[in-house]
A and B are shown apart, each in its own frame.
Chain A
Amino acid sequence: MDPHVKYRLGKSNGFKALIIILAFMCVIPLLAILAYIIQAGATKINWHFLTNIPKPVGETGGGIANALLGSLMMVAVAAIIAIPVGILSGIYLSENKNSKLAYWSRLSVDILQGVPSIVIGIVAYFWLVKPLGGFSALSGSIALSIMMLPIVVRSTEETLKLLPPSLKEAALALGMPYHRVILKVVLPCGISGILSGVMLSIARVAGETAPLLFTAFGNPYLNADMRKPMQSLPLLIFNYATSPYNDWHDLAWGASLILLAWVLLLNISTKLITRRWNIQL
């Protein structure tokens, strides 16, 4: 073979090897993090850990029950707000591709997606914490729901846009009114895409700390009142990890493992559900 060609082929193979190496190197940090968190947190988790609140500094033991409850409650409330608003907006955008309102609305959703989470926290502070006189879980939930909206709107819009127009036509030709066409025919056919958008948005906000820093603020006690400050898993991790106390570090590791497991489980089940529920068009 011509030596020059040999050289070129060698270069090509070398490049491929380089790409493969670089690509797989990215797996290393992920594995390192997973391994470390599992190892550091697994030993800390037990029934006591899950059902007790943190003990004051100096006392061993304690748990993260307040953070668990807080995370569940705040994310649930955020979802209840964001899901209907997001889906309905997504429906509007997919149904009205060319209206002026759709253009500005879509632009707004794009902008919303890029807003840093701490800015959302600032805004939620001035909208809900200051006027109402104190930190509250509700303000935290609203901040989280604002972060969920762009994901839900986008995935709804993209899913519905992919549905064939013959679906709507068939329903309309049967004399169905518009709201039934959308709610009873179009949405059910797009359910897998919409559901995955919802689940991904929940996975995203479950791990968010910054929006809660000045809204829910955190709470060392178990609290189920949305009008008062509440603890959440990410907040607890942040506060306790950066503290100088080893006991609190232990709590933070346990909490990290639980949070990681929750987020990863949501991501994995999203994939499984999308596959099972995908309606053959």
Chain B
Amino acid sequence: MAYPSSSVVYWFRRRFGISEVRREKLVLTMTRFREISSAVVHHRMGGIGVAILAFFVTMALVAPLLPLPNWDASLFPSFQDPSWAHPFGTDQNGRDILARVVWGSRVSLMVGFLASVIAGVLGTLVGLVAGFWTGWRDEVLMRINDILLSLPWLALLIVLAQILGGQLSLSVIILTIGLTSWNFTARVVRAQVLSVKERVFVERARASGASGMTILRKHIFPNVFPLVFANTILTVAVAILSESTLAFLGKVQVGTLSWGVILHEAEASSAIINGHWAWIVMPGLSLVTVILGFSLLGYALDEILNPKLRER
């Protein structure tokens, strides 16, 4: 491969560039990634899942560009039923609900993604430590895991919310959800690490003098990473659900807008008794559809990665 003539860049690449072997491995990983991605998209259900998620993410991103009325301004009469002017109706303050749903998606999705990143990283770390260095570290971590898994997470979250003042800011919410959702990932990672450890080639690597860190990096990590990735899809969905539940119970800072918040306001304004169905159905349907997208994606990945579930 020819390097550009600039000597600085050349020196930089020589020093920090990727060696041939690693580049090959990278290419292999990318090819495999591309293979799986294309398989997922072509899978009937996976394709639908990807389409759904793409739709919502795009909607969230381009929200400022859409011709919607201001989501926070009380411009219209309250409690309007759905009409051409207001496809989802208006809420108790006369705000257009469609606008609120579209803008609310930004928070709901963002919190979900960020929280699941935290949960994923934390879960992977814990799982790696527990699985790799078995013994008391493993036992302790697993007991903590058990405890957190068993507590009704909802109660835990609400209590945490109360501790921190009853009205949580977004960053706090992201942190709390992240800190309580890592359990499942940790369990899964730990199981995978344990099974990889059993495999002969790790023994061989040990025998050839490779240190613990190298084994971790070269053998265990590549086998664990795809699993974590597939698992993260589940975690994001759960995180989005958690945020919406917290918001529904009113624990989110006043002034934030997410789907859960809209539903909270609906319930507080007795929307059910008054029959304002769109107010309740539409934000919830968006939630359900997004989660469906993740489920379909997960289902497709499952079928693709697990040969037994395919047609025999």
Tell me if chain B binds chain A: no
Measuring CB to CB, which residues of chain B are less than 8 angstroms from any residue of chain A?
none
